Amino acid sequence: MRRILLSVLVVIVSSALVLGAPGGKKRVAIMDFDFASIQHWWEGNWDIGKGISDLLVTRLVKDGTYSVVERKALQAILAEQNFSNSDRANPSTAASIGKVLGVDAIIVGSITQFGTEDKKLGIGGAAGRFGGFGGGKVGTSKGKAKVVLDCRMVDVSTAEILAVAEGKGESSRSGLMLGGIGAGGGGFGAGEIDMGASNFRDTILGEATHAAADEAAKQLVASADRLPTRVVQVKGLVAHADGGTVILNIGSAQGVQVGDKLKVLRVTSTVKDPATGKVLRELTQEVGTVQVAEVDEGSSVASFVTGSGAKVGDIVRSQ
Question: What is the pLDDT at residue 26?
Answer: 83
Question: What is the pLDDT at residue 73?
Answer: 74
Q: pLDDT tens digits, residue range 147-198?
A: 999 999 999 888 899 999 999 999 988 877 776 554 333 334 445 688 988 8
User: Model's pTM, two decimal places?
Assistant: 0.61
Q: Mean pLDDT, to the nearest integer, of 66-95?
A: 78
Q: Can you spell out the DSSP letters for 191-219?
A: S---TTSHHHHTSHHHHHHHHHHHHHHHH
Residue 12 has pLDDT above 80, yes or no: no
Q: pLDDT tens digits, residue range 216-272?
A: 999 999 999 998 755 546 889 999 999 899 999 998 777 777 778 899 999 999 999
> Please, where in the chain does CATH 2.40.10.410 lie?
235-318
Q: Percent of the chain beyond pLDDT 90?
A: 42
Half-sphere exposure of 40 (CA within 13 A, CB side): 10
pLDDT bracket for residue 60 (50, 70, 90): very high
Least confident of 111-115, 194-198, 295-299, 308-312: 295-299
Question: What is the pLDDT at residue 270?
Answer: 92
Question: What is the pLDDT at residue 70?
Answer: 79
Architecture of domain 235-318: Beta Barrel (2.40)
CATH class, 2-226 region: alpha beta
Residue 22 has pLDDT above 80, yes or no: no
Question: What is the pLDDT at residue 183?
Answer: 33
> How many whole angstroms separate alpha carbon 197 and alpha carbon 187?
14
Q: Which residue has the higher pLDDT, 58 or 6?
A: 58
pLDDT bracket for residue 71 (50, 70, 90): confident
> How many whole angstroms separate alpha carbon 316 and alpha carbon 236?
5
> How many whole angstroms separate alpha carbon 263 and alpha carbon 308?
11
Question: What is the pLDDT at residue 142?
Answer: 55
Q: Mean pLDDT, to the nearest integer, of 274-293?
A: 93
Q: Mean pLDDT, to the nearest integer, of 279-298?
A: 90
> Please, where in the chain does CATH 3.40.50.10610 lie?
2-226
The continuous run of DSSP H or E covering 6 comes out as helix 2-16
Q: pLDDT tens digits, residue range 100-154?
A: 777 789 999 999 999 876 544 434 332 223 333 333 334 444 578 899 999 999 9
> How many whole angstroms separate alpha carbon 30 and alpha carbon 74?
8
pLDDT bracket for residue 25 (50, 70, 90): confident
> How many whole angstroms separate alpha carbon 5 and alpha carbon 148?
38
The continuous run of DSSP H or E covering 67 comes out as strand 66-68
Q: Mean pLDDT, to the nearest integer, of 303-307?
A: 95
Q: Mean pLDDT, to the nearest integer, of 60-78?
A: 84
Question: What is the pLDDT at residue 158?
Answer: 87
Least confident of 30-34, 48-52, 94-98, 124-128: 124-128
